[in-house]
């Protein structure tokens, strides 16, 4: 287990370093970030002034290591537009996005796991077909359109929920549903497949033969094993959600990291943009690391790499 953990940790560090290199180079995709900030048709001396002011005139490697060294200390430089350190802004907004992501994943799991189990217990029944239909329909609905439809019906026509802001828990209901439903199909399919497979295993037959109650067999024996892959999927999806929350936060005007990302992209606030991409990527790397370690702990067969 220790050897596996060390190896897996090494991989995570390597991925995080590569991501930081890509994130840093991102501002150079357009060629010259000074021109991108100055905008089209800017005068040559203005571009030169921007280049010197933000330090783009230094060698690229110096810029990268300077930035990376800062990032490791939690210093992402100063925001171009917000006049305060990027790190402060990010850690101010991160909790909101975390709450949104957590509610979204909770919604998805609460809907998907029972449906998946139910569908697996009665394969090819009405409930199985219904679950499959929900999955197919859910995966085809554009997130932002679904969100707007929710706003229109629940927020405006029926006046059940507030449509913008992040003041109370009610503000998070629609965004969490809009963000979470997209994950539901994947979790449901995996739960169904896992339970179906486990239910045909020998030890389940043994448990049934011993005369255990069907509920005990299903929840104590089958679900425990079937749920392992769902745990790592949920971790991965939580990471994707933090990145995908940009669309939802923009629609509901939730003051989280996604909204901040959108603002900084609009204003070409490069340090904030880079920092958000890096922070979200590192969170994803940590989540997958935790999921892999947890899985390896639960299932020793996975420790062989």
Q: Does 222 bind another protein (CB under 8 A)?
A: no
Helices 257-266 & 86-121, crossing angle to 10 degrees? 130
Closest to another protein by CB, 22 or 106? 22
Closest to another protein by CB, 64 or 240? 240
Q: Does 64 bind another protein (CB under 8 A)?
A: no
Sole binder of another protein in the list 101, 243, 256, 271 (CB under 8 A): 243
Q: Does 246 bind another protein (CB under 8 A)?
A: yes
Angle at 120 between CA 117 and CA 126, to 5 degrees: 105
Q: Does 184 bind another protein (CB under 8 A)?
A: no
Angle at 251 between CA 245 and CA 252, to 5 degrees: 90
Distance CA 246, CA 2 (A): 37
Residues 271-300 interacting with another protein (rule: CB under 8 A): 273, 276-277, 280-281, 284-285, 288
Residues 195-214 interacting with another protein (rule: CB under 8 A): 196
Closest to another protein by CB, 169 or 197? 197
CA 166 to chain CA centroid, Å, is: 19
Beta bridge partners of 85: 78
Distance CA 68, CA 80 (A): 18
Element (H, E) at 133: helix 126-140
Sole binder of another protein in the list 152, 160, 167, 298 (CB under 8 A): 152
Closest CA to 283 of 71, 4, 16: 16
Q: Does 154 bind another protein (CB under 8 A)?
A: no
Q: Does 156 bind another protein (CB under 8 A)?
A: yes
Distance CA 301, CA 129 (A): 34
Instruction: Please report where in the chains the tokens 């305060």 appear, as a residue.
Output: 84
Contacts with another protein by CB under 8 A lie at 11, 14-16, 18-19, 22-23, 26-27, 29-30, 33, 36, 136-137, 139-145, 148-149, 152, 156, 189, 192-193, 196, 236, 239-240, 242-244, 246-247, 250, 261-262, 265-266, 268, 273, 276-277, 280-281, 284-285, 288
């Amino acid at each position: 287990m220790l050897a596996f953990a060390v190896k897996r940790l090494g991989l995570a560090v390597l991925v995080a370093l590569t991501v930081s290199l890509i994130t840093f180079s991102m501002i150079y995709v357009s060629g010259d970030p000074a021109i991108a900030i100055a905008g089209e048709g800017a005068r040559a001396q203005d571009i030169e002034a921007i280049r010197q002011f933000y330090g783009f005139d230094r060698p690229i490697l110096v810029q990268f290591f300077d930035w990376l060294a800062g990032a490791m200390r939690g210093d992402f430089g100063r925001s171009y537009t917000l006049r305060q350190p990027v790190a402060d802004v990010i850690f101010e907004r991160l909790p909101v996005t975390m709450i949104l992501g957590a509610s979204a994943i909770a919604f998805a799991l609460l809907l998907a796991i029972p449906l998946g189990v139910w569908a697996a217990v009665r394969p090819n029944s009405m409930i199985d077909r219904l679950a499959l239909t929900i999955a197919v329909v859910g995966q085809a609905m554009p997130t932002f359109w679904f969100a707007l439809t929710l706003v229109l019906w629940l927020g405006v026509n029926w006046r059940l929920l507030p449509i913008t802001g992040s003041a109370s828990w009610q503000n998070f209901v629609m965004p969490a549903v809009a963000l979470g439903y997209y994950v539901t199909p994947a979790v449901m399919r995996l739960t169904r497949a896992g339970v179906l497979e486990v239910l045909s295993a020998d030890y389940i037959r043994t448990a049934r033969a011993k005369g255990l109650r069907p509920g005990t067999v299903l929840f104590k024996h089958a679900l425990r094993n079937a749920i392992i892959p769902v745990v790592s999927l949920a971790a991965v999806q939580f990471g994707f959600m933090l990145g995908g929350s940009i669309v939802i936060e923009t629609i509901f005007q939730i003051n989280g990291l996604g909204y901040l990302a959108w603002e900084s992209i609009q204003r070409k606030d490069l340090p904030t943009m880079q920092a958000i991409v890096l922070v979200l990527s590192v969170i994803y790397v940590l989540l997958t690391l935790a999921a892999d370690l947890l899985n390896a702990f639960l299932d020793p067969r996975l420790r062989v790499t």
